[in-house]
């Protein structure tokens, strides 16, 4: 799916093609990621796919009832708790 989307985009854009996110995650060894996904099958599937490729470094939070990019607006407390916990664990592990 990533490659088809990239190919179609390359037909209309003159910019260099970005690498697929899964490849970027693989290349960023030692970096932890928090993916916040909307409560939709497409976003959950994509987040699970990325987490499956680096389960020790990719965390996923599903914003229940949220649309795309609306996790904070839909569940401010859940978003805040998740992000603060992730940052605390991640930054704390680098000390």
Chain centroid to Cα 20, Å, comes to: 12
The pLDDT, as a whole number, for residue 81 is: 97
Q: Encoding tokens for residue 3?
A: 């490659």
Which residues are registered as beta bridge partners of 60? 35
- Residue 93's pLDDT is what? 60
Mean pLDDT by runs of 10 across the 95 residues of the chain is: 68 78 95 97 97 97 96 97 96 69
**Which residues, at least 6 apart from 78, have a Cβ–Cβ distance to it below 8 Å?**
61, 63, 64, 71
pLDDT at 3: 66
Sheet strands (E) in the chain: 33-38, 58-63
């Amino acid at each position: 799916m990533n490659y088809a989307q990239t190919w179609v985009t390359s037909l209309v854009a003159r910019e260099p093609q970005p690498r697929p996110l899964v490849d970027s995650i693989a290349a960023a060894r030692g970096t932890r990621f928090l993916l916040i996904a909307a409560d939709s099958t497409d976003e959950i599937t994509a987040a699970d796919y990325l987490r499956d490729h680096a389960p020790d470094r990719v965390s996923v939070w599903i914003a229940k009832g949220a649309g795309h990019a609306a996790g904070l607006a839909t569940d401010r407390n859940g978003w805040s708790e998740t992000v603060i916990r992730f940052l605390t664990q991640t930054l704390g592990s680098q000390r």
